[in-house]
Amino acid sequence: MKDNIPLAVAYYLNGTNFRMSAEKLMSTLELDSDGRPTRLTAIPLYFLATHAAELFLKAALLKRGFDELDLKKYDYRHNLNSLLSELQKKEVSVTDASVATINGLSGLHEKHALRYTVLVDDGNKTYWPPLSSVFSMLDELLLLTRIST
C-alpha cells in the first residue's frame, strides 16, 4: 500500500493556508444580522473556504487509506458532497451543521461558480451561509485530518 501521509500533509497545509486567507478577508467584510456578508466582495472568501474544505476532506480521506488515484476521479474532483460521503463511509462522524454547510456550498464549488459564474442569473438562489457556519465547518474538517479522529 502506498504511503499517503506526505500527500495528506501537503493537502492539510495548503488547506490551512486557504483557510487563513479566508479569515483575513473576513475581517474586511460587513456582515448582516445573520452573519452573512453584505457585499459581493465576499465571493473570494467563499472560494477560499470551499477550496480549504476540499483539501481538508481529501487529507482526511488519504490518512484513512483512500487511494490517491481515486481522488482524481471525476466523481470526487471538487465534489465536496462526494468527498464527505466517502469520509462518512469510513465511520467518521461530522456534525449536522457542517454537513448542511458542505451540502449548501458543494454545488458552487463543484461547478466552479465561485470562480466564474456565481453572478450569472441561472434562476437559482445562491446559498450564502453565515461565516460563523463556514469557519466552524472548516475547523471541524481540519480536526478530521488527524488520523486519530
Q: Which three cell numbers stand for residue 11?
A: 493537502
Tens of pLDDT along the chain (149 residues) come to 578 999 999 999 999 999 999 999 999 999 999 999 999 999 999 999 999 999 999 999 999 999 999 998 888 889 999 999 999 999 999 999 999 999 999 999 999 999 999 999 888 888 899 999 999 999 999 999 986 54
**Type of residue found at 102:** I
**Type of residue found at 35:** G
75-103 burial, b if ≥16 CB within 10 A, otherwise e? ebeebbbbbbebbeeeeeebeeebbebbe
In degrees rounded to 5, what are phi and psi of residue 65? Answer: 90, 5
